[in-house]
Amino acid sequence: QVVGGKVKKPGKRGRKPAKIDLKAKLERSRQSARECRARKKLRYQYLEELVSSRERAICALREELEMYKQWCVAMDQGKIPSEIKALLTGEEQGKAQQNSTKLAKAGKTEANSSNP
């Protein structure tokens, strides 16, 4: 047969089916299914761990929120919770340490600048 200047052979078009061993094909299919199930199992484990860690974080944040609510109620009643006092004194001590560090650095800088 001649079509458009080319010789065409009669028969089916496209790729010829390769002689694939049916047993090997089934085994590959089973292996692929096993791997898919394993991936799915790992994905679900990862998601479950993620959910549980988020739930723990939510619980911790709820406890912290409850503590802050209790502090607010106490301060509304004119009481200062001991935790807040500790935070305030800790900040004051931290500021004092920062100021002393700054003064010490400034003194060193002045001493270094006076020595040529």
Give me the domain span that covers residue 57. 22-86
Residue 17 forms part of a structural domain: no
What residues pair up with 3 in beta bridges, in sequence order? 6
Structure tokens of 32?
């692929």
**CB distance 85 to 71 below 8 Å:** no
Residue 106 forms part of a structural domain: no
Residue 13 forms part of a structural domain: no
Residue 94 forms part of a structural domain: no
46: left (phi over 0), alpha (psi -120 to 50) or beta: alpha
Residue 70 forms part of a structural domain: yes
Q: Which segments of the chain have a pLDDT < 70?
A: 1-20, 93-116
Number of domains in the chain: 1
Amino acid 19: pLDDT: 63
Q: How far apart are CA 16 and CA 44, in angstroms?
A: 41
Residue 69 forms part of a structural domain: yes
Q: Which residues contact 5 (CB under 8 A, 6 or more apart)?
A: none
